[in-house]
Amino acid sequence: MFRFILLSVILLSLKTAHASSLFGSVEAVTGDATLSRPTGAAEPVTAGMNVMAGDSIQTAANGEVQIVTLDRGFIAIRPDSRLRIDNYHASDAPDDSEILTLFNGAIRSITGWLGKSNPAGYLLHTPTATIGIRGTDHETMVLEHATDQDQPGVYDTVYEGATYMQTEEGELSLHQGQHAFAPAGSRALPRLLMQTPGFLKNRRLLLEAHIQQRKDALHREIAAHLQERDARKRQEEHRPPEIRRRKLEDRRDNMMRRRQLEH
């Protein structure tokens, strides 16, 4: 009985730790924005605030929020947008993941080392399409109402690298400089656009100027992290077989426990 209770406590602790894992911290904010916890608690977004898996951020018409993620990625949440961090796990494990949902508005996402070591673990869900990556800097927009230049639906623009846009009808690959569109309320294949969407050309953002500088710095940090990880792997390969076997078994057991808890 005691053993069962102890195991239950351990599993509950693992589940709680995983559900509340750190996603990143707010580096910059302007205007009005609100962070909502899974418990229902809400508070204004402030610089330096930690963002956890399960949290949602809503920006007002004058609001912008920029987050540096634990794996040294970067998320810029645009005005009038709502983003939820569904799942995030970054520990240099094969099951590392970053799963987001964009309900409305737009985000710019610059992936960190997770996007380089496990790009299949990154997914951005929207009401119309799902966006995946192959290590990238891209921007996704959920446009709810038609404008003079743009129709309602999901747009994706690739600034660097590559993405894919997937709907129930199929998948479209995008590369640097390309724009894709999946119309709202329609079972249609995503399609490439021949010109830049109007909302990208016409908007005015207050926090955009320093993104390239931050991006360069984060790229250097990612490269250093990957070099350190490779050095650890090489060191691991020179350890006695028995120690390597025990570490692999421990890692496998931890992965199985996480998957059981998630399901």
Domain count of the fold of the chain: 1
- The pLDDT tens digits for 65-100 are 999 999 999 999 999 999 999 999 998 888 899 999
Least confident of 12-26, 174-188, 229-243: 12-26
**pLDDT averaged over the chain?**
86
- Reported pTM: 0.81
Higher-pLDDT residue of 262 and 171 is 171
- Whether 3 shows a pLDDT value over 50: the answer reads no
**56 is written with which tokens?**
């949602």
Tell me which residue range forms the domain holding 177: 2-262
Q: Tell me the C-alpha distance between 100 and 190, whole Å.
A: 20
For the beta carbon of residue 108, count every other beta carbon within 10 angstroms: 20
**What CATH number is given to the structural domain containing 40?**
2.60.120.1440
Q: For every residue of the chain, which 3-state class applies, written as one string?
A: CHHHHHHHHHHHHHHHHHHCCEEEEEEEEECCEEEECCCCCEEECCCCCEEECCCEEEECCCCEEEEEECCCCEEEECCCCEEEEEEEECCCCCCCEEEEEEEEEEEEEECCHHHHHCHHHEEEECCCCEEEEEEEEEEEEEECCCCCCCCCEEEEEEEEEEEEEEECCEEEEEECCCEEEEECCCCCCCEECCCCCHHHHHCCCCCCCCHHHHHHHHHHHHHHHHHHHHHHHHHHHCCCHHHHHHHHHHHHHHHHHHHHHHC
Instruction: Decide if pLDDT at 169 tops 90.
Output: yes
Q: Determine which of 35-39, 75-79, 173-177, 215-219 has the lowest per-residue pLDDT on average.
A: 215-219
The confidence band for 14, taking pLDDT boundaries of 50, 70 and 90, is: very low
Radius of gyration of the chain (CA): 20
**Cβ atoms of residues 186 and 168 within 8 Å:** no
